[in-house]
Amino acid sequence: MALNMLAVDRIVEEFGTSPAYANIASAVAAAADGDRIIIKNRTGDIPWIENITVDKSLEFLNYADNGFFVVQGNWTIIPAAGRVVVIKGMRNTNGSITATGAGTLGGTALKVLDGQFVSGNINAATDAVRAEIVGNELQFGYVRINLGNVVGNKITYSGSAECIRIVPGTGTFQGDTCAVIGNWVDGQQAGGSWEGIYINGRAQAYHIRNNWVRHGWMGIELQGGNDQAVANLVQNNSIVALAGGSSSRYGISIANTYANSIWEVMNNAIGTQYTGTNRGINRDSGNNGQINVYYNHVSSGMSSPISTGFTFEGNNTTDQPLTFNADGTLNNAPAAVNGGNPAAPFYDLDLTIGDAGAYGGSYTMSNFFPLHTGAARVYMTGHPFNLRTGSTLRVRANAWDR
């Protein structure tokens, strides 16, 4: 679908006069592909109370700099080939964003950036949508996508679902990467039966890095993996099991991996507040892929710190204390400080040997938090991690600008 070459900014304003629109729905109805819907807040930041259906390529953003446009209601995105929907700076007091319906594989781009959801989810669980979920705060909600990236979000959820769920329907490798990086994931389920992060598929190479995960059952559960021998990276995550309840706890659990898949599990820091059965890095049944487990640090006293039978295990510690502060920084974790892979590509930003956990390495969580700090933000870079004299440095950056 070609975007409108004469794109229009359409202003939504309470009590506004033409050409302003009296509500968001009327602006959407009048818009053409490529238009921007610029939303002024109502007096006293009373929410625009509307359910919105988006069936065009549109961008939604707040009128004022460095703030939110405030709404209440459910927004439904209808997929179509070539459709691009961008939602920047939404504060939704009670409602979700949902992409529903079939369509061309990855044909719709949905970007939800720098938003705040008081009670609601972001659900793009369809293969028709390639989603970028970046820099949002979900105070009571979850994120679901099939294709795309989940980067730098704060997700708090204590209901009956995973905080982040990525389960593509397609079994065909798309030749790209799904980044699940720099997220603050708080399951708040002391005795719950849900994962902090759950990934099961082969559509992309999965990079699960520098996440801070609190959970009541499994911190990170992984299944599948692409069958093209493109490595999936599970690196520098900080994971702690919550106290209370009666379920066993798993820091990282890996099951049912596909033949010819590769999983690199490295530099993770795993602790627990739970006094029952704890499993740090767990090898469950059905694994047919290559799984390498090294330079991880698992708190002492766990029932099963690291399972046997992985393809490779080395340089892990399981006999040291490991606790975290409330923000996921290391507290009492002597083995994890400078305890990551000592190779130069994994150094911390101060060029010392990398720490294990979410604040170690160049993708440290400090790059992503705090949230909502300004109008423009570079949220992700791709770059070589090992430089050679005379080599050309190529850096690719993703950003938004409100």
Q: DSSP secondary-structure letter at 162?
A: -
* pLDDT tens, position by position, 182-214: 999 999 876 777 999 999 999 999 999 999 999
Question: Would residue 110 count as lying in a domain?
Answer: no
- pLDDT (tens digit per residue) in 3-24: 556 789 999 999 988 899 999 9
Position 229 in a domain? yes
Domain ranges, residue 320: 160-371
Residue with tokens 């705090």: 370
**pLDDT higher than 90, residue 387:** no
> What is the structure's pLDDT at 400?
82
Residue 185 lies in a domain: yes
Q: Is residue 233 in some structural domain? A: yes
Residues 372-381 have pLDDT tens digits of 988 788 888 8
Name every residue whose Cβ is closer than 8 Å to that of residue 212 and which is 6 or more positions away in sequence.
183, 184, 185, 237, 238, 324, 327, 328, 358, 365
Binning pLDDT at 50, 70 and 90, where does residue 402 land?
low
Residue 2, pLDDT above cutoff 60: no
Q: Per the domain annotation, does 46 fall within a domain? A: no
Q: List the Cα angle 393/397/400 in 5-degree steps.
A: 160
Tens of pLDDT, residues 40-94: 999 999 999 999 999 999 999 999 888 999 999 999 999 999 999 999 999 999 9
pLDDT at 157 over 80: yes
Enter the DSSP assignment of 392: P
The answer to whether residue 245 scores a pLDDT higher than 80 is yes
The answer to whether residue 61 sits within a structural domain is no
Please tell me the total count of domains within the chain: 1
pTM: predicted TM-score of the whole model, two decimal places: 0.96
Measured CA angle at 154 (ends 305, 394), to 5 deg:
85
327-340 in b/e form (b: 16+ CB < 10 A) is ebbbeebebbbebb
Assigned domain for 103 exists: no
